[in-house]
Amino acid sequence: MNRLTGKVAIVYGAGPNIGGTVAYFLAREGARVVVNDINEAAATKTVDFIRSKGHEAIAVAGDATKEDTVAAITAKAVETYGHLDIILNMAGIVLWRSVLEMDLAEWSEALLSFPTAGMLTTKHAARAMIAGGRRGSIIHLLSTAAHFGEAEGAAYAASKAALMNFARSAAMDLAHDGIRVNTITPCSVEHQLWTKMKEEIDEEKFVAEPGRPLYSRDDYLKNIPLERFPRASDLAWAAVFLASDEAQMLTGVDIPVDGGLRFKYPTWRPGDHTGVNIRDYVRSIRRTEYGEEREKLFE
Ligand SMILES: NC(=O)c1ccc[n+]([C@@H]2O[C@H](COP(=O)([O-])OP(=O)(O)OC[C@H]3O[C@@H](n4cnc5c(N)ncnc54)[C@H](O)[C@@H]3O)[C@@H](O)[C@H]2O)c1
């Protein structure tokens, strides 16, 4: 507790889900929080919750991909609370579409959404931090989509990858002013993804398509070394750390909150420890020279 006392934060995309959880955790640690969402009711709901817990927050609705709006939200934060120290941004459009069916207008809008919100929120926050003499912390939420190719995820993956490299470059631009820019990468989050997907998918039609079976929650889970999905609270704890002075030597960094998914050997699954006989494996190795198989190393 009190790890962020005296600090002022803006959270962009802070409806009650992941963003609202981050806003609440920042407030619980003593930050005064400006809660933004494009959906006014969602922002108000988060603020009502934070205040009901005895913490300080205001709601400011608006679209984080629009420059005038982001400038106004930043100004409101400074006007209300005196300065700005922390922003966390996650705003953008998640488009799932096969490249075969990609529409140019839809592609362009989705592709630009995450890095545009990233650039605008960073630019205005950094200007306010510099003007107020604050060595602030800027955090963007990525997705495993930023790091891997994903079927039907071309627009989302490209947009999040652009946000990731934007953040790394902004970290270099702002280092001189002592402003840190970092990212957090969650894999699929526990509380909502699978119910949402189930509602969105016409299962009968989907299963009927040859070669495209449903990819289940359990299939996904089998690939996570810590054997559970991250929760919004896991992301919020990472955000609290990056926002705090505890992380004052971290910039340009990405924190994966994915139970080890990104750094595991791709074909290995948790539980595979048993039954692997490394001696059998070594005996079966064959050496090749110039592309041709030569001999077994061991008999
Ligand atoms: N849910 C997951 O499993 C998961 C996994 C990896 C990454 N993420 C990332 O986490 C973030 C939040 O995802 P979520 O699943 O909680 O989504 P969500 O839809 O529940 O929350 C996103 C919030 O952002 C708001 N928003 C959208 N566009 C906005 C804009 N232009 N300006 C201001 N607010 C805007 C929405 O109204 C909503 O309240 C996204 O960046 C997403 O890519 C989510």
The pLDDT tens digits of the residues spanning 67-78 come to 999 999 999 999
* Mean of pLDDT values over 196-221: 62
List, by residue number, the catalytic residues: 156
The yes-or-no verdict on residue 141 having pLDDT over 90 is: yes
Model pLDDT, residue 9 = 99
* Mean of pLDDT values over 253-271: 92
Is residue 38 very low, low, confident or very high in pLDDT (cuts 50, 70, 90)?
very high
Nearest CA to ligand 1 atom 18: 17
Model pLDDT, residue 176 = 98
Tokens of 285: 């190795």
* Mean of pLDDT values over 203-222: 65
Greater confidence (217 vs 125) lies with 125
Greater confidence (198 vs 284) lies with 284
* Mean of pLDDT values over 10-20: 95
Mean pLDDT of the chain, nearest integer: 90
Q: What angle do CA 47, 66, 4 make, to 5 degrees?
A: 40
Q: Which domains does the chain have, with CATH numbers?
A: 8-264 (3.40.50.720)
pLDDT in tens, 187-201: 999 865 555 555 555
Pocket probe mutation, ligand 1, options 10, 11, 17, max atoms within 8 Å of Cβ: 17
Is residue 215 very low, low, confident or very high in pLDDT (cuts 50, 70, 90)?
low
% of residues, the chain, pLDDT over 70: 87
Model pLDDT, residue 287 = 73
Greater confidence (202 vs 37) lies with 37
Model pLDDT, residue 32 = 98
Report the candidate in 35, 19, 5 with the shortest Cα–Cα distance to residue 186: 19
Pocket probe mutation, ligand 1, options 37, 166, 220, max atoms within 8 Å of Cβ: 37
Model pLDDT, residue 296 = 60
Q: What are phi and psi of 137, to 5 degrees?
A: -125, 125
How far is Cα 235 from Cα 255, in angstroms, rounded to an integer?
10
Residue type (1 letter), 54: G
The yes-or-no verdict on residue 147 having pLDDT over 70 is: yes
* Mean of pLDDT values over 233-255: 98
Q: Please state at what angle helix 232-243 crosses helix 18-28, rounded to 10 degrees.
A: 50
Q: What angle do CA 118, 247, 59 make, to 5 degrees?
A: 45
List C-alpha distances in Å: 226 to 36, 193, 221, 262, 270.
Answer: 33, 18, 9, 12, 8
pLDDT in tens, 94-124: 999 999 999 999 999 999 999 999 999 999 9
The yes-or-no verdict on residue 278 having pLDDT over 70 is: no
Tokens of 153: 């995820």
Greater confidence (258 vs 221) lies with 258
pTM (2 d.p.) = 0.91
Nearest CA to ligand 1 atom 39: 15
**Contact assessment for residue 52 and residue 27, using Cβ atoms and an 8 Å cutoff:** no
How far is Cα 225 from Cα 261, in angstroms, rounded to an integer?
6
Query: What does DSSP assign to residue 83?
Result: -
CA of 17 to the centre of ligand 1 (A): 8
Give ligand 1 pocket residues (Cβ under 6 A): 12-13, 15, 17-19, 36-39, 42, 63-65, 90-92, 94, 117, 141, 143, 186, 188-189, 192-193
